Amino acid sequence: MNVVVAKTGTGRALGDAFAVARDRLPGKGAISDLRRQAFEAYERMGLPHRRIEDWKYTDLRALMREVLPLAPQPDATALDRAAGTAKAQAIEGVRRLVLVDGVFAPDLSDLAGLQKGLTIRPLRDVLEAGDALSGQAFTADSSNPMIALNAALATDGVVIEVANGTVLTQPLQIVHIASAAAPGAIVTRSLLRLGRDAVATLVESYLAADGATAYQAHDALVVAIGDDARLDHVRLVEDATGAFNISSATVSLGAHAHFNTFGMTTGAHVSRYQLTVAFAGEGSKVETNGVNLINGKQHADTTLLLDHAVPHCDSREIFRAVVDDRAHSVFQGRIIVRPHAQKTDAKMMTRALLLSDEAEADNKPELEIFADDVTCGHGATTGALDENLLFYMRARGLPEKEAQALLIQAFVGEAIETIASDTLREVAIAAARRWLEARA
């Protein structure tokens, strides 16, 4: 058994913290049992480290060392600071749902005038009511220590239901804000259910109020997309440069459904995003695209698992990493095509651009194909900016940094342009531009 027992002092401290935190954690009965089991599962495995294949490039024992005790409940000052951040980084035209230090903040959120067929509730309320959805919010792989830990400690989140046939007229945004000056763990979990024929756009943003630095954000998103439904999903990690963001999304699709997701990481000291997509119905299509723009000593890991369990589904992946200074980008993409998943069409293309000699990018595409009538392919490249192009541009008068910026924009543009919503595409382009301007 490749179970590693965390017999470290920190493991114990966390165990004690869990005992203390339990009173704060919503959910009784079955949920409470689930949390205890999840915590025990985490304790058996401990913080993942490089000898576990999936975590080879992201050794949390070395990078994070310990899971901090839960951040305190935000007080009025914390909420004030978070309100400032939410306002400063607001995206025009979206319905904002704000979580501050892991607690749903109704006053900062926009819950008025929900369109028919849309329900939004804080996870805490759902758990405390012992609602049937509680269990669904907790469906996720407990063999992953960090997802198990999240299940054990999640304090709050958002539960969104979009009824059959409902087409949302406005994108929804879950805004995670860390306000705490004192570092702590912020553990959240959200659930999104799209009914049959429903259409929705969800943005997730991870932000830090001024002064919040070495916090740990642990988030889990569980998504169920019904038959013929469509979800567009944009995820923007703009955490503080000293912060950790260890998150997951677990998505299942019905038949003839469409999931388009784009993730961009510019923030956080260490981030890991584990996206698992399971095809449960035929004729569905998934596009998982992303961009890392990182520098300094940042470490950003995107780990994908696409499980083609049924026939006639398509998946497309475009990932672009831009890595400067001593930063480290990790992309792991695993595509499983199960024996009867014939006519699967899966393509994965990942490219990394290294802007310094000490920058590092690890690409690990993996295809596990057990069906014979499929079209699958992957490609991975790593390289520097083309010197000939740079010289041509400089010979036309562009200073080196500006020439680089144009080439980098073009490079990440190939992934950004897959975002369906004009507004959100512009948001991603603006974030990329900010990163490039900060570099110049």
By CB under 8 A, name the binding residues for other proteins.
386-389, 391-400, 402-403, 406-407, 409-411, 413-414
SS3 assignment, position 146: helix
CB-nearer residue toward other proteins: 393 or 420: 393
Q: Tell me the closest approach of the beta carbon of residue 402 to other proteins, in angstroms.
A: 6
What CA dihedral angle connects 90, 137, 337 and 302, to 10 degrees? 40
Q: Angle 400-416/387-395 helices, nearest 10 degrees?
A: 120
Nearer to other proteins, 242 or 413 (CB): 413
**Smallest distance, Å, CB 390 to other proteins?**
9
Query: Shortest approach of other proteins to residue 429 CB, angstroms?
Result: 13
State the nearest-atom distance from the C-beta of 389 to other proteins, in Å.
5
Distance CA 179, CA 101 (A): 6
Least spacing, CB of residue 209 vs other proteins, in Å: 35
* For other proteins, the closer CB: 14 or 412: 412
CA 41 to chain centroid, in Å, comes to 22
Tokens 């954000």 map to which residue?
217
What's the rounded Cα separation, in Å, for the pair 214 and 269? Answer: 9
Closest to 311 (Cα-Cα) out of 333, 276, 349, 283:
283
Among 297, 199, 295, 306, CA closest to 249: 306
Cβ distance to other proteins smaller for residue 370 or 391: 391
Minimum distance, C-beta of residue 392 to other proteins, in the bound complex (Å):
5
| Nearer of residues 103 and 353 to other proteins, judged by Cβ | 353
Query: Shortest Cβ distance from residue 325 to other proteins (Å)?
Result: 21
When the beta carbons of 50 and 394 are compared against other proteins, the nearer one is 394
Q: How many C-alpha atoms does 386 have within 13 Å on its Cβ side?
A: 8
- Give strand pairing partners of 382: 352
What is the distance between the alpha carbons of residues 111 and 105, in angstroms, rounded to a whole number? 11
Query: Which residue number, 371 or 406, has a Cβ lying nearer to other proteins?
Result: 406
